[in-house]
Amino acid sequence: MGRGSVTFVGLGPDSLQLRTALAVERLEHAEVIVDAEEPSAPKLIALAREGRRVVRTVRGDVFESPRALSEAVETSDAGVEIEIVPAVGAASEAGAFAGVAGRAVWTTTSAVAGIVGLHPDEAPATLILAPGRASQRVVLGTCGDAAERAKAFGDVPVLVAFGLPQSSLGWFERQPLFGKRVLVTRALGQASAMALLLRERGAEPIVVPTIEIRPPSDSAPMDRALQGLRAGAYAWVAFTSVNGVQMTWDALVHAGLDARAFGGARLAAIGPATARELEGHGLHPDVTAKEFRGEGLAEEMVAALGHGPVGRRVLLPRAARARDVLPDALRAVGCHVDVVAAYETRPPSAPELEPILRELELGKVDAATFTSSSTVEHFCDFVGPRCAALLNPVRLASIGPVTSATAQARGLRVDVCASESTVPGLVAALANSYR
- Tens of pLDDT, residue by residue over 87-118, are 888 888 889 889 998 899 888 899 999 999 88
Q: What is the mean pLDDT of residues 34-61?
A: 87
Highest mean pLDDT among 286-300, 322-336, 340-354: 322-336
Q: What is the pLDDT of residue 324?
A: 83
Please name the residues in contact with 332: beta carbons below 8 A apart, sequence gap of 6 or more: none
Q: What is the mean pLDDT of residues 301-321?
A: 76
Using DSSP, state whether 128 is helix, strand or coil. Answer: strand
State the DSSP code for 60. Answer: B
37: pLDDT confidence band, cut at 50, 70 and 90? low
pLDDT at 129 over 80: yes
Q: What is the pLDDT of residue 304?
A: 77
pLDDT at 407 over 90: yes
Higher confidence at residue 381 or residue 17?
A: 381
Q: What is the mean pLDDT of residues 300-317?
A: 74
Do the beta carbons of residue 130 and residue 142 sit within 8 Å?
A: no
Give which of 116, 114, 208 is closest to 162, Cα–Cα.
116
Q: What is the pLDDT of residue 1?
A: 43
Partners of 6 in beta bridges? 54, 82
Q: What is the pLDDT of residue 301?
A: 82
Q: How far apart are the first and last CA of the chain?
A: 58
Using DSSP, state whether 353 is helix, strand or coil. Answer: helix
pLDDT at 352 over 90: no
Q: What is the pLDDT of residue 188?
A: 74
Do the beta carbons of residue 105 and residue 76 sit within 8 Å?
A: no
Q: Strand pairing of 81-85 and 53-59?
A: unpaired
Q: What mean pLDDT is reported for the chain? A: 88
pLDDT at 306 over 70: no
Do the beta carbons of residue 345 and residue 375 sit within 8 Å?
A: no
Instruction: Please report which helix (H) or strand (E) contains residue 48, including its range.
Output: helix 41-49
Instruction: Please report which helix (H) or strand (E) contains residue 326, including its range.
Output: helix 325-332
AA identity, residue 44: L
pLDDT at 310 over 60: no
Q: What is the pLDDT of residue 120?
A: 94
Q: What is the mean pLDDT of residues 131-143?
A: 90
Give which of 178, 179, 146, 95 is closest to 364, Cα–Cα.
179
Higher confidence at residue 15 or residue 273?
A: 273
CA angle 393–197–378, rounded 5-degree value: 50
Please state, for a pLDDT cut of 90, what percent of the chain lies above it. Answer: 50
Q: What is the mean pLDDT of residues 198-222?
A: 89
Where do the domains of the chain lie, and which CATH numbers do they carry?
5-88 (3.40.1010.10), 91-169 (3.30.950.10), 181-211+348-434 (3.40.50.10090), 214-346 (3.40.50.10090)
Measured between alpha carbons, how far is 296 from 422 in angstroms, rounded to an integer? 14
Q: What is the mean pLDDT of residues 404-411?
A: 95
Give which of 418, 369, 360, 417 is closest to 393, Cα–Cα.
360
| Alpha helix stretches (DSSP H) within 362-422 | 373-383, 387-391, 401-409
Q: What is the mean pLDDT of residues 57-65?
A: 86
Please name the residues in contact with 231: beta carbons below 8 A apart, sequence gap of 6 or more: none
* Count of CA atoms in the C-beta half-sphere (13 A) of 255: 23
Please name the residues in contact with 351: beta carbons below 8 A apart, sequence gap of 6 or more: none
Q: What is the distance, to the nearest Å, from the Cα of residue 76 to the centroid of all Cα atoms in its chain?
A: 39
Q: What is the pLDDT of residue 297?
A: 78
Q: What is the pLDDT of residue 389?
A: 93
Q: What is the pLDDT of residue 319?
A: 85
Q: Please, which contacts does 36-41 make with residues 24 or more away whose CB atoms are closer than 8 Å? A: 36/11, 39/67, 39/68, 39/71, 40/71, 41/70, 41/71, 41/74, 41/75, 41/78
Please name the residues in contact with 434: beta carbons below 8 A apart, sequence gap of 6 or more: 176, 177, 180
